[in-house]
Amino acid sequence: MKYLKLVYLRKVYQFICEWIIDHCISPIFGLLPVKNTILLESSPDLSDSTKAVFDEMIRRKMNEKYKFVWYLHHNIVNPPQIKNVDYLCNKRGRLVFKYFEYTSICLISSNMFLGAHSKGQKAFYINHGSPFKSVKGYYSVPDNVDYLLTASKIMGELLTYEMDTDIKKEVHLGLPRNDAFGRERSEIEKLFTISYKKIIAWFPTYRQHKTGHRTASSNALPIIHDRKAAVRLNDFVKERDVLIVLKPHFAQDLEYIKDMYLSNIILIDDLFFEKNGLSSYEFLNSVDALVSDYSSVYYDYLLCDRPVALIWEDIEEYRSDPGFALDIDYFSKGAYKIYTVSEFENFILDVVNNNDTFSQERKEICDIANYSRDRKNSKRVVDFICQKANL
């Protein structure tokens, strides 16, 4: 009981401190002149479209004029050391973060909403992906976010409703992270201890969020609900020299699958990319096929023009909760549907035998979901940010 009281008092103390910082101290920061600082955020840290924009800005040597501050949700041991680039871990406290939020000339985020508070600031939300599942009532773009960047006009129109924002704020320039697709493949085979003839990335969306948010699906991971199903699929791909790299959504509760030790189904997380010096999208650009489900990575991977399968076993549960932001049956027609382990195996056989059934359908949806295939999204977005923020 004493321990619970201490926990409760600590939470009350934290709430009071945050309230004072947000409502008493932060407005004082708003009286300070805006500085030549660019504040950036993404989740996972140093990733996604924010990282692609940052890389383009560094390529242009904008760090010679501007100070860059990366807000990190977690402590990164050895972040890249670049001139005029600092890293602010949230463990350093809310006060320092609020100082930069109120005094930076430009705020760029793809996960949390960084809003402009002072005259001369501009805030750009460059998006965590195009809609698949409905997020209506779960996310709402604050009024002090100046621009919402989207992958295409149609995806922007969907986000207008789903994220409760003004369509006048939306700019359709393509997602910068997608510039990784269509480039030369990375030599990812050296990242694994086993050899293979084909490699398939499996990127499922979350079923049970770490924050407690859940979908209607009763399974933590689709298809391989238990060890028997997992071993069967592993043996199947092993016999055919296929490697499946399974990367759960970063917000997924992983306790269920951590104990699955399988030879040809390898579990990775975001540290895998950090450790090996490549982005998740550079990795995806280098695999032979993608398996996903109700994730926006489906739209992104269409730019590779390689086979995609979507696991559809709990489609009816998802129709009811959380629902979909669009006509799911139309937008998913570029993918093979998987309901069972047997259908998963059939898709693998297609990949092994180079059978590509849905090529035309993929191109149709890709043209709708993506602004362009020219791999110049980062350039367009940085040009736009520089123009609007007077950088």
The whole-number pLDDT of residue 20 equals: 72
CA distance 239 to 232: 11
Q: pLDDT higher for 184 or 308? A: 308
Task: Say what the alpha-carbon torsion angle 370, 372, 375, 378 is, to the nearest 10 degrees.
Answer: -70
Q: Which of 207, 217, 212 is CA-nearest to residue 318?
A: 217
pTM of the full structure: 0.88
What's the CA gap between 76 and 107, in Å, rounded? 21
Query: Please, which residues have CB within 8 angstroms of residue 238's CB and are 6 or more apart in sequence?
Result: 263, 264
| pLDDT tens profile 228-261 | 888 899 999 999 999 999 988 655 555 655 666 7
Stretch among 5-14, 38-47, 135-144 having the lowest mean pLDDT: 5-14
CB 161 within 8 A of CB 134: no
Contact 200, 344 (CB under 8 A): no
Q: What pLDDT is attached to residue 6?
A: 59
Dump pLDDT digits (tens) for 93-131: 788 889 999 999 999 999 999 999 989 999 999 988 888
Strands 85-89 and 104-109: unpaired
Determine if the peptide bond prior to 44 is cis (ω within 30°). Answer: yes
pLDDT at 4 over 60: no
Distance CA 308, CA 366 (A): 12
pLDDT at 65 over 70: yes
Name the average pLDDT for the chain: 86
- Residue 141: what pLDDT? 87
Angle (nearest 5°) at CA 298 between 292 and 300: 140
- Write the pLDDT tens digit of every residue in 127-163: 888 888 887 777 788 899 999 999 999 998 888 888 8
Read off the pLDDT of residues 337-368 as tens digits, 9 standing for 90 and up: 999 999 999 999 999 999 998 999 999 999 99
Tell me: the pLDDT tens digits for 263-303? 899 888 878 888 888 888 999 999 999 999 988 899 999 99
User: Which tokens in the block code for residue 189?
Assistant: 């085979």
Residue 12's pLDDT is 65
pLDDT reported for residue 160:
84
Q: pLDDT > 90: what percent of the chain?
A: 52
| Digit-coded pLDDT (tens) for 194-225 | 899 999 999 988 665 555 455 555 566 788 87
Cβ atoms 261, 92 nearer than 8 A:
no
CA nearest to 381, candidates 60, 43, 13 = 60
